[in-house]
Amino acid sequence: MAKETKKQVAVIGLGRFGGSVCKELYKTGYEVLAIDRNTEKINQYVDFSTHAIQMDTTDEEALSNAGIKNCSHVVVAIGNDIQSSILTTLILKELDIPNVWTKAQNQYHHKVLERIGADRIIHPEYDMGIRVAQNMVAEKIIDYIDLSDDYSIAELFATPIVNGKTLASLDLRRKYKINVLAIKRDNRLTVSPMPEDTIQTNDLLIIIGLKKDVKRFQEKGL
């Protein structure tokens, strides 16, 4: 059997945004290369990454020597230095990194990143603003049955956040301590779905769990 290798990812630029991406990926179990040109940042991230490397990522040779080519995903979270962000993204695409996600400062920066082949362009504050607004207005719980003081059954609409994901990959039992009793799509009901069953946007999920966990899933998982 092939030896299972851990997925390797890199985060370049350990400011507020890059730093939180790095910590979260590391916590989730990825092998994370944390890269910054500032030594202080590197010292801060030694315990929150697999390898913390001090370098200027506009130096192509240094990037190659750091083993960046083993990474399937690289997040470029360089903030104000737009020139460095663009050059780093360009080098990564020239090195054939399949998924380069870059943080953009403004629309001009966005346009250039698009041109040079960034696979995803992120505007953290703008994207988060939309997410907050959607969460505030979304009425995701369709029906709710109190089973006891603590437990409930709820019916919720699946949002694009879980679209295309299997129940196994969502890991809802562990993350939210809830169980999916059934999935309703169009008029077809799948009772006791299997881990490999996939969820689609607008599926109706019938779940059971502690009320506080159902609430947490609705707010954070959907």
DSSP 98: S
151: closest CA among 80, 61, 77, 212? 212
122 half-sphere exposure, CB direction, 13 A CA radius: 19
Q: Is 84 a binder of ligand ADP (CB under 6 A)?
A: yes
Q: Is 80 a binder of ligand ADP (CB under 6 A)?
A: yes
| Residue nearer to ligand ADP on the CB measure, 123 or 140 | 123
105: closest CA among 126, 130, 129, 74? 126
Listed in sequence order, the residues at least 6 apart from 129 whose beta carbon sits closer than 8 Å to its beta carbon are none
Q: Is 81 a binder of ligand ADP (CB under 6 A)?
A: yes
| Identified binder of ligand ADP from the candidate list 9, 11, 14, 32, rule CB under 6 A | 14
Min CB(18)–ligand ADP separation in Å: 6
Q: Is 109 a binder of ligand ADP (CB under 6 A)?
A: no
Determine the Cα–Cα distance for residues 152 and 155; give it in Å rounded to an integer: 10
Q: Give whole-number Cα distances, 185 to 23, 145, 158, in Å.
A: 36, 20, 10
Q: Which region, judged by CB under 6 A, interacts with ligand ADP, from 7-15, 22-30, 199-207, 213-221?
A: 7-15
Q: Give whole-number Cα distances, 84 to 34, 68, 73, 89, 194, in Å.
A: 16, 17, 18, 8, 47
Q: Is 13 a binder of ligand ADP (CB under 6 A)?
A: yes
Q: Is 101 a binder of ligand ADP (CB under 6 A)?
A: no
Residue ranges of the alpha helices (H) in the chain? Answer: 16-28, 39-45, 60-65, 82-94, 107-115, 124-137, 167-170, 172-176, 211-216
Q: Which region, judged by CB under 6 A, interacts with ligand ADP, from 2-10, 15-23, 177-185, 198-206?
A: 15-23
Q: Show the site string, 34-73: x = touches ligand ADP by CB under 6 A, - = not.
A: -xxxx--x--------------xxx---------------
Min CB(105)–ligand ADP separation in Å: 9
Q: Is 218 a binder of ligand ADP (CB under 6 A)?
A: no
| Residue nearer to ligand ADP on the CB measure, 46 or 145 | 46
Q: Which residues in this chain contact ligand ADP in the complex, by CB under 6 A?
A: 12-18, 35-38, 41, 56-58, 77-81, 84
